[in-house]
Amino acid sequence: MATSQQQLEMARRAIQEGRKEHAANVLIVLLASEPQHVEAWWLLAHATNSVDIQRRALQNVLQLRPGDPQALEMLESVNVREAMMRLKHDTNEMRPARSAVPSPTPAQTNGLEPRYAELRRRSASPPRPKKRRVRWFPIALAGALVFLIAGCALLAFAALNGLRIVEDAMAEFSPSLPFASAARQPTQSPLGDVNALGSIAYQQWRSGTLQNPSERHAYVFRAAANDFVAVEVSALDSSLDPAVALYGPDGVLIAGNTDIAIGNSNAGLALTLPAAGDYTILVSSQGAAGRYQLTLQH
């Protein structure tokens, strides 16, 4: 299993090559086991385009490394960018529609039809572009929004238990899947200090209990090249916030996840496997122990 330094270097190279989604998956797995790793939080802020995720990652950097000038500068830039986007949206909705000049009746023209015809022609023509003038009110409003958002972010951070990562929506799983048998038991786990709990096949589920936050459970399944798989770890206890990672036949990390979506703390993955062989699913906790259910779909 790769060390934390190797995972950092892997994520840094992925960011430089423009593969931000892969970098975020690597960093999520690292932070699930080392939530106090400040460099991982800093790289995560650069591995996503989501304003919400960037703000949360930078706030964690400032908590672990108070007063960091780069983190403070990037956090201010993120807040200003969000405020300007909201201001632009609000300004477009408040702009009134231009009304057309009504045409007069013949009785109202009283012989002045040519002059009214010219008036109608001018009113029907597109308006001439006007020079933009500096409007100080939107600028002042943007400044007030920046301070308001910063204050709300500090209050939300006090109740934040961990990073919420936005992932692609997972396909719904069937609750009536057959229970997986433990017929094929791996002789040795290539992932280090884990509990190897046997095998799982497509369209099956397994349940387990993480006795402490540092415990990790490994399940093995066999797949063919280009198989599309969906993995979900559902918490059966409200105290458990699960994480899931997938390792290839060579023991190299392929992907990881801590939350399926905002407001859904279950963990899940959906991807196409690159090669045939035995893959390992690693289930862990982000904070507390508890019961879970693992489902594998194809």
| Residue 202 and residue 137 share a domain | no
| Residue 150 and residue 45 share a domain | yes
Q: Among the three residues 139, 161, 183, which one is the final residue of a domain in this structure?
A: 161
Task: Tell me the pLDDT of the chain averaged across its residues.
Answer: 79
| Residue 225 and residue 151 share a domain | no
| Residue 139 and residue 31 share a domain | yes
Q: How far apart are CA 213 and CA 287, in angstroms?
A: 6
**Weakest-pLDDT range from 3-17, 87-101, 221-235:** 87-101
Top-confidence residue, 59 or 170? 59
Q: Is residue 69 part of a domain?
A: yes
Domain span including residue 126: 1-161
What values do phi and psi take at 231, rounded to 5?
A: -115, 135
| Residue 203 and residue 106 share a domain | no
Q: Is residue 13 part of a domain?
A: yes
**pLDDT attached to residue 166:** 38
Q: Is residue 186 part of a domain?
A: no
Q: What is the CATH number of the domain that holds 262?
A: 2.60.120.380
- Closest among 240, 267, 266, 264 to 256, alpha carbons compared: 267
Q: Is residue 59 part of a domain?
A: yes
| Residue 241 and residue 155 share a domain | no
Domains in the chain: how many in total? 2
| Residue 240 and residue 134 share a domain | no
Q: Is residue 221 over pLDDT 90?
A: yes
Residues 6+ apart with CB under 8 A from 42: 57, 61, 71
| Residue 229 and residue 123 share a domain | no
Q: How far apart are CA 192 and CA 4, in angstroms?
A: 13
Confidence of residue 50 (pLDDT cuts 50, 70, 90): confident
Q: Among the three residues 101, 135, 161, which one is the final residue of a domain in this structure?
A: 161
Q: How far apart are CA 102 and CA 46, in angstroms?
A: 56
Q: Is residue 8 over pLDDT 90?
A: no
Give kind and range of the element (H or E) at residue 294. Answer: strand 290-297
For residue 273, how many C-alpha atoms fall within 13 Å in the half-sphere facing its CB?
25
Confidence of residue 294 (pLDDT cuts 50, 70, 90): very high
Confidence of residue 172 (pLDDT cuts 50, 70, 90): very low
Strand extents, DSSP E, 185-273: 195-199, 204-210, 217-223, 228-235, 242-247, 253-257, 267-272
Q: Is residue 176 over pLDDT 70?
A: no
Q: How far apart are CA 263 and CA 166, in angstroms?
A: 10
**pLDDT attached to residue 121:** 65
**Weakest-pLDDT range from 20-34, 164-178, 245-259:** 164-178
CB 33 within 8 A of CB 284: yes
